[in-house]
C-alpha cells in the first residue's frame, strides 16, 4: 500500500535511504531533513513494514524533482519503485507541475517510466542546492532525466 509518510516512518525511511547512500547511490538524509520535508514523501508499506520510499520535491515554477527513491533490497524488481514514482507523478499533476526531473544512476529504470535524458545545464541553478553537500560535487556523474506531465485542473 502506498500512502503519505507519517512521523512514525521517519527513522525507517532514513535507514532505507542511507543504505543506498552508504554505497554512493544517493545522497544521505539526516533525520532533521526528513522531518522538515516529511510532506514530500510517500512510503510503500506492507504488513506494517516500510518497504519503499520516494519523495516529490517542488523545485521551481512548474518543476518538481523525484528524490530519495529507495526500495528494500529483498523486494527489488517487483514494481514497487515504479509504483512510488507513478504516485509522485500523480501528485505532481495535482499540484499543477508541468515537468518532473530526477538525478540518478538508474537511467534505464526512469526511461521505462517515460523520462528522457536532459542536459543538466537545462535545469535551473536552484536545484543544485543539495549537490553542494555531495562528495562528488562539482563532478557529478549522475544522469539527469525529465518528464513532461499534464497538470490536473
pLDDT, tens digit, 9 for 90 and up, residues 8-63: 999 999 999 999 999 989 889 999 999 999 999 999 999 999 999 999 999 989 99
pLDDT band at 6 (very low <50, low <70, confident <90, very high): very high
Q: Residues 70, 75, 77, CA angle at the centre, nearest 5°?
A: 85
Distance in angstroms between the alpha carbons of the first and the last residue of the chain? 26
The pTM for the full model equals: 0.91
**Do 63 and 124 meet the contact criterion of CB atoms below 8 Å apart?**
yes
Q: Is 153 a member of any domain? A: no
Domain count, the chain: 1
Which CATH number characterizes residue 115's domain? 3.40.630.30
Is 7 inside any structural domain? yes
Q: Considering the domain boundaries, does residue 66 fall inside one?
A: yes
141: pLDDT confidence band, cut at 50, 70 and 90?
A: confident
Strand arrangement of the beta sheet that strand 2-4 belongs to: 2-4, 41-46, 49-60, 63-71, 99-104, 143-148, 116-117
26 found inside a domain: yes
Domain extent for 140: 2-148
Amino acid at each position: 500500500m502506498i500512502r503519505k509518510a507519517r512521523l512514525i516512518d521517519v527513522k525507517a525511511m532514513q535507514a532505507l535511504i542511507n543504505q543506498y547512500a552508504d554505497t554512493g547511490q544517493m545522497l544521505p538524509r539526516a533525520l532533521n531533513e526528513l522531518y522538515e520535508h516529511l510532506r514530500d514523501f510517500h512510503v510503500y508499506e506492507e504488513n506494517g513494514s516500510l518497504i519503499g520510499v520516494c519523495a516529490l520535491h517542488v523545485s521551481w515554477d512548474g518543476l518538481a524533482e523525484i528524490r530519495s527513491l529507495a526500495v528494500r533490497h529483498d523486494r527489488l524488481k517487483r514494481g514497487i519503485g515504479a509504483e512510488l514514482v507513478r504516485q509522485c507523478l500523480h501528485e505532481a499533476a495535482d499540484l499543477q507541475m508541468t515537468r518532473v526531473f530526477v538525478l540518478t544512476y538508474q537511467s534505464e529504470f526512469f526511461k521505462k517510466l517515460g523520462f528522457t535524458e536532459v542536459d543538466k545545464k537545462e535545469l535551473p541553478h536552484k536545484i543544485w542546492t543539495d549537490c553542494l553537500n555531495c562528495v562528488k560535487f562539482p563532478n557529478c556523474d549522475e544522469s539527469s532525466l525529465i518528464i513532461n506531465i499534464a497538470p490536473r485542473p
